[in-house]
């Protein structure tokens, strides 16, 4: 090794040309151009004319100055309009004293001194172009180049420098009290906190601290918040970086940053390293389309560092991702990320707890019911619920209130789900009737079916999301499982809007596009995912990607099977549509009555709908509804 190093030093090294040499070359070029090219461009033009024309201009007083150029034996005439034309008139080579005499005679008669050189026409702008401008360009270019060089040097000097931020317990300000709706995830992390605080009782029995924990879940569920809460509860330094911060244009920079990060972490142990969006550097290296050298080298360095440090010193790695399917298998094996903690969307009680956390600093009316809000927002993440509380507070301020009431929370839910009301959206009376019957069809079929949730609101006011109206249902209790009858009824409700239009107007419109999309999706899942079709049975025919992001799926079957699935979907949806049409036909009077009231009022609450149903259908038991929304 020593000999090799010595031989390398003895090799002649190439000498770099100093940067100031390039500056000198540039200045020489600028000066040369200014001294030769600019005068050529700004020099006056010379136009050769016949002798008689030349003498005629002198006699007519069109000449200001005349000069005899002995070297070329010709005369030069400066006309009176020289400032505009920038043109001198010249004769050809005379070579004859008689011709010269004619011009001299004409000059004497006109009182022009032909022996005096024509005065130079150098103007102030020519001085600026020739002398001042090149100097200014040189100075500006020199300043720009120096600044660019300084930035480049500072960038080069910072290669590999760690950009992690260290948060002490006070600076994070987060504990498990700030995390709600994720009890299972918190329980999985409590052991890590206890080990950081009291490592002795674990090492005494021979237990080792898990090196890493991977937080997996949809966006907005609080993965970063959980990591900060762990650091806050343990009272240890918190190194926080995003996966994208490791990846740079130059190969080797990310790996250098990984080394620097772990070096700092070991020096500050016990501590927590948190890598957000780890999929930016942790993607699988099994890429048939070609890899990314910088990303793969960074991943290899991360794997080596996780193998190289001793977890008993109290260094824990937390990482977050919403794309676990793309992560490299080597990253997920035991000994690296030993635990996978699912941070999923909260259930109904979890949503209530999250709403209470975000409402701690908001002045609320004492009768606010968070349970109603939680039931109205199935599938909402913690970030969505925080947005609802904040939107309600903003609406309360807009209404000049000092407290947030249930009304502002209900309005905030509608804004988050469907958007703001489009008050300037004007529909014709005919279109308004169509929308009234469409939404009433949804609501009426919902009330007539067995396994459905009660109607809480019907509206035909257009929203910024593009919807012209909607029917809101709120479940009394959140469901985990759906049976075949419930899914068929859900499709029947979705088809009821189109069926109502067809029944009343004997025509259909584009207003059911979203209903068609949802009904098709449900019917397809019944057949390909849930095995609810007798023809296809207990077989999965669909492949799902990006489970925690925008769910994308594709059929995983031969073409003839796909055609049969399409036919089965058509049969299911047609059966549901016919059922909805028949129900509305049997209760046409009720449909007309509710649609007429909705047309006049534009909004109907669940209680209003129940009263109208009770008037029109006294023999039918209507599902009770809460007045919270």
316 has which bridge partners?
Answer: 272
Question: In the structure, what pLDDT confidence band is assigned to residue 5 with cuts at 50, 70 and 90?
Answer: very low
In-domain check, residue 481: yes
CA 263/CA 268 separation, integer angstroms = 9
CA 245/CA 267 separation, integer angstroms = 21
pLDDT score, position 12: 42
pLDDT score, position 580: 94
Based on the fold, state whether residues 264 and 393 are members of the same structural domain: no
Tell me the CATH number at 373: 1.10.8.60
Q: Which tens digits make up the pLDDT trace of 28-72?
A: 666 665 555 555 555 666 677 766 777 777 776 667 677 766 656
Tell me the CATH number at 549: 1.20.58.760
Three-state DSSP at 522 gives: helix
Tell me the CATH number at 220: 3.40.50.300
440 or 427, greater pLDDT: 440
In-domain check, residue 115: yes
Based on the fold, state whether residues 398 and 496 are members of the same structural domain: no
In-domain check, residue 448: yes
pLDDT score, position 606: 86
492-530 b/e with 16+ CB inside 10 Å = b?
Answer: bbbbbbbbbbbbbeeeebebbeebeeebbebbbebbbee
Residue 611 catalytic?
Answer: no
Average pLDDT over residues 383-391: 90
In-domain check, residue 144: no
Q: Which tens digits make up the pLDDT trace of 161-195?
A: 545 454 444 456 788 888 888 888 888 888 888 88
Based on the fold, state whether residues 396 and 439 are members of the same structural domain: no
Based on the fold, state whether residues 199 and 54 are members of the same structural domain: no
Tell me the CATH number at 95: 3.30.720.210
Question: In the structure, what pLDDT confidence band is assigned to residue 160 with cuts at 50, 70 and 90?
Answer: very low
**pLDDT over 70 percentage in the chain:** 71
Range of the domain at 476: 429-616
In-domain check, residue 143: no
Based on the fold, state whether residues 332 and 368 are members of the same structural domain: no
Based on the fold, state whether residues 208 and 315 are members of the same structural domain: yes
Q: Which tens digits make up the pLDDT trace of 307-355?
A: 777 666 778 888 898 888 888 888 888 878 888 888 888 888 889 999 9
Question: In the structure, what pLDDT confidence band is assigned to residue 303 with cuts at 50, 70 and 90?
Answer: confident
The DSSP result for 386-442, as a single string, is HHHHHHHHHHHHHTT-SSB-HHHHHHHHHHHHH-SB-TT----HHHHHHHHHHHHHH
In-domain check, residue 384: yes
- Average pLDDT for the chain: 78
In-domain check, residue 596: yes
In-domain check, residue 40: no
Based on the fold, state whether residues 278 and 355 are members of the same structural domain: no
Q: Which tens digits make up the pLDDT trace of 503-562?
A: 999 999 998 999 999 999 999 999 998 889 888 888 888 877 666 666 667 777 788 888
Rg (CA), the chain: 42
CA 272/CA 235 separation, integer angstroms = 10
**pLDDT over 90 percentage in the chain:** 16
Based on the fold, state whether residues 482 and 601 are members of the same structural domain: yes
The tally of domains found in the chain comes to 4
pLDDT score, position 170: 47
Based on the fold, state whether residues 103 and 183 are members of the same structural domain: no
Average pLDDT over residues 572-598: 94
Based on the fold, state whether residues 270 and 360 are members of the same structural domain: no
Closest to 456 measured CA to CA, from 571, 608, 595, 574: 608
Could you say which of 439, 453, 489, 568 is catalytic?
Answer: 439
pLDDT score, position 327: 85
pLDDT score, position 6: 38
Average pLDDT over residues 471-487: 84
Based on the fold, state whether residues 292 and 378 are members of the same structural domain: no
């Amino acid at each position: 090794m020593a000999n090799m190093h010595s031989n390398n030093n003895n090799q002649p090294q190439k000498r770099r040309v100093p940067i100031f040499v390039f500056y000198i070359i540039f200045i020489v070029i600028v000066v040369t151009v200014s001294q030769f090219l600019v005068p050529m461009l700004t020099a006056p033009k010379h136009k050769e004319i016949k002798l008689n024309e030349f003498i005629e201009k002198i006699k007519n007083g069109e000449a200001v100055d005349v000069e005899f150029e002995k070297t070329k034996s010709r005369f030069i005439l400066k006309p009176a309009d020289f400032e505009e034309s920038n043109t001198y008139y010249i004769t050809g080579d005379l070579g004859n004293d008689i011709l010269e005499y004619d011009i001299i005679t004409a000059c004497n008669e006109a009182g022009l001194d032909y022996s005096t050189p024509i005065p130079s026409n150098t103007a102030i702008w020519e001085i600026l172009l020739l002398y001042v401008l090149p100097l200014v360009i040189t100075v500006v270019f020199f300043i720009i180049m120096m600044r660019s060089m300084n930035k480049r040097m500072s960038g080069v000097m910072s290669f590999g420098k760690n950009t992690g931020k260290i948060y002490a317990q006070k600076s994070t300000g987060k504990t498990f009290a700030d995390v709600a709706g994720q009890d299972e995830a918190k329980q999985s992390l409590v052991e890590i906190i206890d080990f950081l605080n009291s490592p002795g009782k674990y090492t005494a029995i021979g237990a080792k601290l898990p090196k890493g924990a991977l937080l997996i879940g949809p966006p907005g569920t609080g993965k970063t918040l959980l990591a900060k809460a762990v650091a806050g509860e343990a009272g240890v330094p918190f190194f926080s970086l995003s996966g994208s911060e490791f990846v740079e244009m130059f190969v080797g920079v990310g790996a250098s940053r990984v080394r620097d990060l772990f070096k700092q972490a070991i020096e500050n142990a016990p501590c927590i390293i948190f890598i957000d969006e780890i999929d930016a550097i942790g993607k699988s290296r099994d890429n048939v389309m070609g890899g990314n050298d910088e990303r793969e080298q960074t991943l290899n360095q991360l794997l080596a560092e996780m193998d190289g440090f001793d977890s008993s010193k109290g260094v824990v790695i937390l990482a977050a991702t919403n794309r676990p399917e793309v992560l490299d298998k080597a990253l997920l094996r035991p000994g690296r990320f030993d635990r996978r903690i699912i941070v999923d969307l909260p259930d109904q009680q979890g949503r209530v707890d999250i709403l209470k956390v975000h409402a701690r600093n908001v002045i609320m009316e004492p009768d606010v019911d968070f349970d109603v809000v939680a039931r109205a927002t199935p599938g909402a993440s913690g970030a969505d619920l925080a947005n609802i509380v904040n939107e309600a507070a903003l609406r309360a301020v807009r209404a000049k209130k000092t407290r947030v009431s249930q009304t502002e929370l209900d309005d905030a839910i509608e804004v988050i789900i469907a958007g703001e009301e489009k008050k300037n959206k004007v529909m014709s009376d005919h279109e308004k009737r169509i929308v009234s019957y469409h939404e009433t069809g949804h609501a009426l079929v919902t009330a007539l079916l067995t396994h459905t949730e009660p109607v809480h609101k019907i509206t035909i006011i257009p929203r910024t999301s593009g919807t012209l109206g909607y029917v809101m249902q709120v479940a009394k209790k959140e469901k985990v499982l759906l049976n075949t009858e419930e899914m068929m009824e859900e499709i029947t409700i979705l088809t009821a809007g189109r069926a109502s239009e067809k029944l009343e107007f004997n025509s259909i419109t584009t207003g059911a596009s979203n209903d068609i999309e949802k009904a098709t999706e449900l019917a397809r899942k019944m057949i390909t995912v849930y095995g609810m079709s007798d023809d296809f049975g207990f077989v999965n025919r669909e492949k799902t990607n990006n489970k925690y992001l925008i769910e994308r799926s594709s059929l995983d079957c031969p073409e003839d099977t796909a055609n049969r699935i399409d036919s089965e979907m058509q049969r299911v949806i047609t059966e549901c549509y016919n059922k909805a049409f028949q129900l509305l036909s049997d209760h046409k009077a009720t449909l007309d009555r509710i649609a007429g009231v909705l047309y006049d009022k534009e909004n109907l609450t669940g209680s209003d709908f129940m009263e109208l149903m009770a008037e029109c259908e006294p023999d039918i038991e209507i599902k009770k509804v809460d007045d919270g929304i």
